[in-house]
Amino acid sequence: MTRARRARAPIEPAAAVPEFTPIRVEPAYRKVATALLARITDRTISQGDRLPPEMELARQFGVHRGTVREALRELESNGVLKRERGSKLMMVTRPAHGAVGAGVSRALALHDVTYQDVWEALTALEPPIAAAAARNRRATDLARIEAVAGREVSVEQTPEFFRAVCDATHNGVFMLAHEPLLQMLVPALATLIEKVPQAAARIATAQKRIAAAVRDKDPVQAEEWMAKHVRDFRRGFEIARISLEKPIGAGS
């Protein structure tokens, strides 16, 4: 008598397995730069400290000297390191606000940021900055603000006034946050001042009112006049027929 065959259960298809994230492969110099930057960021290596020689760093990381040199070059280009004249050692430093702002400005332009976007950001940032400047300014800050406000309005003078007011806040976040916005506006300021005859006079008046409020340590007036100043700028761009909806940096 033959043994009855046992019925086999149907084979179910395997459940779909989520794909794995590709492993990121970085050049050795980038890993060295990342490790150095982590020490600098957490203040294990402080501003003004000098790094060991390239050969010593190569020994510690277990890499070739050329790899270390490439990592140091990258950090130097980012403003984190610098080599003082007459020294072979790299020193830790802080990136200048202008350098940081330039990098962010380029990124914003690549993301098709418009003048409208920038004005909305300035409207949110600049009035509170002026109020903080009125509260926190020192004698040297006031002297700088009044000196800039006393100069003829120009493409260079106008953003410098904003910077002088912002520096008087002594708030590092404010200083870094508004710098890229100012840099994005500079190319259009020449057109504004040229095409709108009344623009220079209105800018000068607003600057003097803001400077007076900062002098008197009056945050309410400083904030109100800065808000008006930013609104006037926007209106000037409209009069000059600079499209607020066009991405900054786009051709005419």
Q: Residue 40 sits in a domain of what CATH number?
A: 1.10.10.10
Pair (137, 177) in one structural domain: yes
pLDDT tens per residue across all 252 residues of the chain: 455 555 566 666 666 778 888 877 889 999 999 999 999 989 899 999 999 999 999 999 999 999 999 999 999 988 899 988 888 899 999 888 888 888 888 888 888 988 889 889 999 999 999 999 999 999 999 999 999 999 999 989 999 999 999 999 999 999 999 899 888 888 778 778 888 888 899 999 999 999 999 999 999 999 999 999 999 988 888 888 888 888 876 544
Tokens of 210: 């803001």
Pair (102, 144) in one structural domain: yes
Provide the CATH number for the domain around residue 175.
1.20.120.530
Pair (211, 158) in one structural domain: yes
What's the pLDDT score for residue 252? Answer: 43
Of the candidates 120, 147, 137, 109, the one whose C-alpha atom is nearest the C-alpha of residue 247 is 109
Considering the domain boundaries, does residue 21 fall inside one? Answer: no
Pair (103, 88) in one structural domain: no
Of the candidates 240, 220, 207, 237, the one whose C-alpha atom is nearest the C-alpha of residue 117 is 237
Using only C-alpha atoms, the chain has a radius of gyration, in whole angstroms, of: 28
Question: In sequence order, which residues have a C-beta less than 8 Å from that of residue 150 and are 6 or more positions away?
Answer: none
Pair (69, 102) in one structural domain: no
Rounded to two decimals, the pTM is 0.76
Which range marks the domain in which residue 44 is found? Answer: 28-92
